[in-house]
Chain A
Amino acid sequence: DQQVKQNSPSLSVQEGRISILNCDYTNSMFDYFLWYKKYPAEGPTFLISISSIKDKNEDGRFTVFLNKSAKHLSLHIVPSQPGDSAVYFCAAPLYSGAGSYQLTFGKGTKLSVIP
């Protein structure tokens, strides 16, 4: 049963516009969320994170919003650039016992920014 869900497999956005990537989660115990970006033939790279004590975290063109009551987070990219074209993964650490955590990932959303 997927605990982190990205329901949109793909998204196309015009260059300069806003990209909004969505992520839903089912486990109310999650208290920290991460976004990763992945280019083809490369490993994922960390993009931005948010703690559940916040509802927004911003880093340059990237902002993540967290709505705990809706169990929803979103990544906003403003303005979108062609270099942002990649697959974006939402992830959350899941406690697995004995002080260990597993990072559980969504299936990813492929963003295409059209010049």
Chain B
Amino acid sequence: NAGVTQTPKFQVLKTGQSMTLQCAQDMNHNSMYWYRQDPGMGLRLIYYSASEGTTDKGEVPNGYNVSRLNKREFSLRLESAAPSQTSVYFCASSVRATGEQYFGPGTRLTVT
């Protein structure tokens, strides 16, 4: 039981490049989330998927897209990376929308 896994752990991109952050959970959770954490800003929700087949914007969705590929997997795509997207990205999942969330180890992304 791996919980929530994220790949890659680290990534450096040049401005304008694209990439997809992968997330998978093996806990049969319905809801999945993507957050970014910046110094002094706490965790801010980018996108979430309350259940398979649905996705919704969070607090800071601009510049990102998501895909809920199936119940296990939820990916985050940066189409044209910008330095402002330098951050640590966390994926999380939960059984139900109001319940505790389980987080992955994070992806540290640097955009130069």
B37 to A: closest C-beta gap in Å? 9
> Considering only CB atoms, which chain B residue lies closest to A92 in the complex?
B98
B41 at interface by CB-CB < 8 Å: yes
Binary interface encoding of chain A residues 79-107 relative to chain B, with 1 for a CB under 8 A from any of its CBs, else 0: 00000000001010100101111111111
Q: Assess the B50–A108 pair: CB atoms within 8 A.
A: no
Q: Assess the A46–B50 pair: CB atoms within 8 A.
A: no
Number of chain B interface residues as a range: 20 to 34
B91 to A: closest C-beta gap in Å? 8
Q: Assess the B103–A43 pair: CB atoms within 8 A.
A: yes
Q: Assess the A107–B90 pair: CB atoms within 8 A.
A: no
A62 at interface by CB-CB < 8 Å: no
Consensus secondary structure, chain A interface: strand
B74 at interface by CB-CB < 8 Å: no
The answer to whether residues A100 and B50 also contact, given A34-B100, A43-B103, A43-B105 and a CB cut-off of 8 A, is yes
How distant is the Cα of A93 from the Cα of B31 in the complex, in angstroms?
Answer: 13
Contacts of B40 in A (CB 8 A): 9, 107
The answer to whether residues A100 and B45 also contact, given A43-B90, A45-B103 and a CB cut-off of 8 A, is no
The answer to whether residues A42 and B97 also contact, given A102-B58, A105-B42 and a CB cut-off of 8 A, is no
Q: Assess the B56–A46 pair: CB atoms within 8 A.
A: no
How distant is the Cα of A104 from the Cα of B33 in the complex, in angstroms?
Answer: 12
